Amino acid sequence: MRVGIGYDVHKLVKGRKLILGGVDIPFNLGLDGHSDADVLLHAISDALLGACGKGDIGKYFSPMDNQWKDISSLLLLKEVYLILQDAGYEINNLDVVIVLEEPKISSYTEKMKMNIADVLQIKIEDINIKSTTTEGIGFVGKKEGAAAYAVVTIIKKQI
């Protein structure tokens, strides 16, 4: 068994959609980034790549490369999943936390889990998504951005 941890952060800005876990969440601000800036899926991608010793998402999806401009992070996660499979691993479980002052996202987490389970070919029960605020402290507390942390366990496939 191997463990990986991922972290991502993006600024909240006007004129962008707020997309978390592949779900478009109605809000007056969105996350700024080269792709759709889905901090949740970026943290998961980094955790998976780290667990199998394959670097980070910047290695595969450079923000300097226009082919990734505004791309859905669900597609990036699918590519990471293929890297994980090629390395001979399968996912055991995934635990994530989204750090966001507002909006409240609890009504969207089941759809996020469905999206992630579909891409990673795992059971919804093997995914846990939670959210928290920073109670007004720091850039998240000031509603300037959002962050996500992910921890994943993977196991070597049995041949």
pLDDT band at 69 (very low <50, low <70, confident <90, very high): confident
Q: What is the pLDDT of residue 62?
A: 73
Query: Cα–Cα distance between 79 and 77 in angstroms, integer?
Result: 5
Q: What is the pLDDT of residues 73-124, one digit of tens each?
A: 999 999 999 999 999 999 999 999 999 999 999 999 999 999 999 999 999 9
Write down the residue that tokens 């300097």 correspond to: 64
Query: Of all residues in the chain, what percent carry a pLDDT higher than 70?
Result: 99
Query: Cα–Cα distance between 111 and 40 in angstroms, integer?
Result: 13
Q: Is the CATH number of domain 2-156 3.30.70.980?
A: no
pLDDT band at 60 (very low <50, low <70, confident <90, very high): confident
DSSP lists the bridge partners of residue 60 as none
pLDDT band at 36 (very low <50, low <70, confident <90, very high): very high
